[in-house]
Amino acid sequence: MRLQESNIDSLRIADSLAIEARLELQPLYEPDPVRFDFSAPGWLYLGIVLVLAILVLGFFQWRKYQRNKYRREAYNNLNRFENSGDLKGAFITLKQAAIFRFGREEAGSLSGSSWWRFLEKTGRGVEWVDISSDLDNYLYQGKEPGPEFSKLVFDRAKKWIKNHA
């Protein structure tokens, strides 16, 4: 048995050497290079999909820009009122923005503490209730606020315009 196994092993080795020698002698077969061309139908489909995707994304961005026009106008008005020192103009701007966004039925009739709670509820992190007594003194009793208070009100009004729901 051992004799046959060693003969088989030597045949295997001899065959593998013969195959290697035969492979080394023949030149490698190389296919022609594949020609690259944009006229294939896949490129047309990809181009159409990309153009449609750009159009759809552009439409949604334009619509978002149009819907936020009132925010940009309100923010510009707040800056104008802040530069002129007109604190009552800031509250008028807040009321106009709230009516535009939430409707006259929901925001138009609010005043006093219910208005401050409404602004706080819809303002995502903008607090109004903590300064509501000072706000009421200014708006309803005519007491003039200090410059620090005015800056605080303008900052909160700008933050509400940017962050309201």
pLDDT in tens, 111-154: 888 988 999 899 888 888 888 888 888 888 888 888 888 899 99
SS3 22: helix
Instruction: State the total domains in the chain.
Output: 1
Q: Taking 50 as the threshold, does the pLDDT of residue 3 lie above it?
A: no
H or E element that contains 106: none
Q: Which two tokens stand for residue 29?
A: 């077969």
In a domain, 51, yes or no: no
In a domain, 8, yes or no: no
In a domain, 145, yes or no: yes
In a domain, 137, yes or no: yes
> Which domain does 158 fall in, by range?
70-163
In a domain, 50, yes or no: no
SS3 1: coil
Torsion 8-10-14-17 (CA) sign: positive
In a domain, 16, yes or no: no
pLDDT in tens, 77-111: 999 999 998 888 999 999 999 999 999 999 888 88
In a domain, 142, yes or no: yes
The confidence score (pLDDT) of residue 22 equals 59
